Structure 1
């Protein structure tokens, strides 16, 4: 089924706990990502009959299941031990020159569950499938969803009992900033060196030493966060255990996309002070990278010199991000004028115009974009100057999607799934697979939520 070669399992035993997923009562395959399976060289027909594997009841040949250890800063507070509290890494599938992790999320308790049940409700599993695959379609580096299985069991959450589910997640790897942090906090330089060598070999073979890896991760994260910002994506929980070394988006908990634009927008129900608001994501990215640099210091020799070198590297982040953000925003307006782009955002914020639809209207029918804003006199003046700059509409078409996974549509799919109706889930996935075209099929999905449909708070689901 899978072609496993498990390099992470060959790291020292203190990196993980070897254990199998917990079996469930009645596994059923809800969704299989056939295009991804084909891309990975997997037999789609065999996978369609593999509900036991996707729910955790059967460990496939060659797997070496384990729960990974890591630590992290959560909302700025230090947690010395986290780890996979509801996930099991089955192993690493190799397809040609590509190596990916195959992980079951929602697969039962582990030593890192911290009094949690180790399970996932079907709703958060469906949310991650929808949003991660939508991000992939938009061209954003991300973990992928291979399958969703229901368990035939219920999990208890604040709202009561809910149907359980398991997500099969594909990732370049699950190595996080927090993976380095846990060994730095334990003064385990030997483990840090093993992890550094492993991470470089897997993700940055041209990098030299700890600062080479830091530079690589910094460049990847600068580009990634700029892309998030350009699509109005709010991750919602940018803890250091949710930042990957690979530069992929990971852990779609309380995430959401902007509709009415305001830079202070927060969706996460647990983000009480706006730490992870849309506008703060670049600064939090740098903060997280500083924690990675701190974790790498024990591998850098004399501390004073190491701190100075790490500081110099980190000081390059703002320029990297500014370059990436400029590329994103000037493509969205089709004009190499960042001041013009930021002025449009300011106009949108005055009336909280729909983020996606404003840029799409500007791309397809510029005059109609004024319908998205309140201060139309200011917009009309802006539009005249924008037209005079001779915008590149081809670039705009490639940068401004027609459709995103709007929060109310994701919730609609989740609510229906809880009743056993998966048609809205499949329909939403189908239209999000091609976000760049306006079609009759996706027309209903392009409209913002009504006042009654609006989703202002999202939840992590643990």
Structure 2
């Protein structure tokens, strides 16, 4: 075998309560669609030929050193607790320590049934696999913490959903797959021994400077503050911020009905299953706080003095809204070309956003145009922008190089929903050129790429994506 993956596994060494060990289910005719050579180099993976990589990343061959398993977790789904979830269509092959010294999981997604499949087939179809590949890699290029895509493989099999669809497997790379729900399952069962062991493992792996369960809680809070404020700054909507989709490492994980806003409105929802707007764009900071409170509730169960833990955890969680507002404001200051903090900055930012919502302004293109002088063209009533811009220009006085800062913080390219849908439709028909084009262009989101200017265009009315769907 020429494909070499330098596995160095730790999660597999945890007791059986944490996982179920089993191999991926082989597929009929694996065909390598994409392989991320840059990521592979960081991971120390020496690539084999395409046929061999298709066999490995399709799940037909378990590579040397792998210890495949499905992880157990629980979670609140749209606010309702589900006592047992787990990897119902994913297999963790193992871990590698990259050239940057970071330990990462390598996981196959869409790899067949597991003990946690809950009646599902454990498979994925091509559309969600390509969506996650494109969007997660775009997020990485946008400098937002995220899981990444190492490979995509077509299976040669049909996956049955509303009808027959081509099957695929995604190879996902993550700092870990530990979730808030991983802690919840042991807390709910009263298994404090496993909860303590998990807490110690998480601290050692992610936050070695954290002291005890409350130190872990504080570290996760700060990581989530960074993550969610970054989402907000690019108009990203995760779509399903359940606690089982909330990574304690502070990475974006589980790209299902995710989307980027075109026209700005704070109440924007795309997910077809979010009928009440629980995970709307503007509500994401609130949900991050709610999820942290669920983690706090779980962590407290292992303490010798739970009451003291409640008081400390309450203080940690209650500090989060203010931290989120500060991080959000710092991000949006930079998007306006501002480096220093002054009174009135919050009103300056919210004043622009309110005018954008009233004038059907495209989120990405409006902020990008601030640095080129074309922003007023993004407003149905340009005078609304002019009345705001007077104060903005006065605020920029004394700033060192606002145009350069805005170019670094306001992307020209995002994975727009209608382009993702076009890409999926083309791939289902056998044409992967749009997929490869998107991955190439979105690898340089802050650069002007005039030959790809069509990818900056918002959707025409008939192209607007009204709803996005989970990948199951």
Correspondence 1:174-253 to 2 at 5 A: 174-253=177-256
Q: SS state of the match for residue 442, structure 1?
A: helix
Quick check: 1:154–1:163 contact (8 Å CA) kept in 2? Answer: yes
1:62-101 per-position Cα deviation (integer Å, ceiling 9, x unaligned): 0000000000000001100000000000000123422110
Is the counterpart of residue 344 in structure 1 residue 314 in structure 2?
Answer: no
Q: Among residues 145, 155, 161, which one is paired with 1:157 in the alignment?
A: 161
State which drifts further: 402-411 or 433-442.
433-442
Q: Which moved more, 1:315-324 or 1:430-439?
A: 315-324
1:129-144, aligned counterparts within 5 Å? Answer: 129-144=133-148
Q: What residue in structure 2 maps to residue 422 of structure 1?
A: 432
Task: Measure the CA separation in 2 of the matches of 1:319 and 1:226.
Answer: 12
SS in 1 for 2:170: strand
CA separation in 2, counterparts of 1:452 and 1:89? 41
Tell whether the 8 Å contact from 2:32 to 2:50 is kept in structure 1 after alignment. Answer: no
1:254 paired residue number: 257
CA contact (8 A) 2:47 2:53 kept: no
User: 2:316 aligned with 1:313, yes or no?
Assistant: yes
With the length of structure 1 as denominator, give the TM-score of the two structures.
Answer: 0.98
Tell me which stretches of 4 or more aligned residues in structure 1 moved more than 6 Å: none
What's the offset of the Cα at 1:377? 2.1
Partner of 1:301: 304
Match of 1:51 among 45, 54, 62: 54
2-structure distance, mates of 1:69, 1:94: 23
Match of 1:120 among 95, 120, 124: 124
Q: How does 1:256-335 map to 2 (within 5 A)?
A: 256-335=259-338
| Residue 407 (structure 2) aligns with | 397
Give the 3-state SS of the residue equivalent to 2:81 in structure 1.
Answer: strand
Partner Cα distance (2:130, 2:138) in 1? 12
> Superposed, which structure 2 residues align to 1:347-426 within 5 Å?
347-364=355-372, 366=373, 368-390=374-396, 392-426=402-436
Deviation at 1:379, TM superposition (A): 1.4
Distance, in Å, in 1 between the alignment partners of 2:62 and 2:327 is: 42
CA distance in 2 between counterparts of 1:283 and 1:229 reads 12
Contact 1:350 1:375 in 2 (8 A): no
Structure-1 separation of matches of 2:51 and 2:224:
35
CA distance in 2, matches of 1:312, 1:41: 42
Give ranges in structure 1 of 5+ residues lacking alignment. none
Aligned-pair CA distance for 1:180: 0.2
Instruction: Give per-residue Cα distances to partners, 1:203-248, cap 9 Å, x unaligned.
Output: 0000000000000000000010000000000000000000001000
1:157-200 deviations in Å (ceiling 9; x for gaps): 12x10000000000000000000000000000000011001000
Q: Secondary structure in 2 aligned to 1:341?
A: helix
- 3-state SS, counterpart of residue 461 of structure 2: coil
The root-mean-square deviation of aligned C-alpha atoms, in Å, is 1.1
**Over residues 265-287 of structure 1, what are the superposed CA-to-partner deviations in whole Å (9 max), with x where a residue is unaligned?**
00000000000000000000000
Deviation at 1:251, TM superposition (A): 0.5
Aligned-partner Cα distance in 2 for 1:222–1:439: 32
Following the alignment from structure 2 to structure 1, what is the Cα–Cα distance between the partners of residues 404 and 441?
22
CA separation in 1, counterparts of 2:416 and 2:134?
10
Partner of 1:441: 451
Gapped runs of 5+ residues in structure 2?
none
CA distance in 2, matches of 1:50, 1:199: 31
- Give the match for residue 86 of structure 2: 83
2:37 is aligned with 1:27 = no
Give the drift of 1:338.
Answer: 2.4
CA shift, 1:140, in A, is 0.2
Q: State the shift of 1:444 in Å.
A: 1.0
What residue is the counterpart of 2:7 in the other structure?
A: 4
2:471 corresponding residue in structure 1: 461
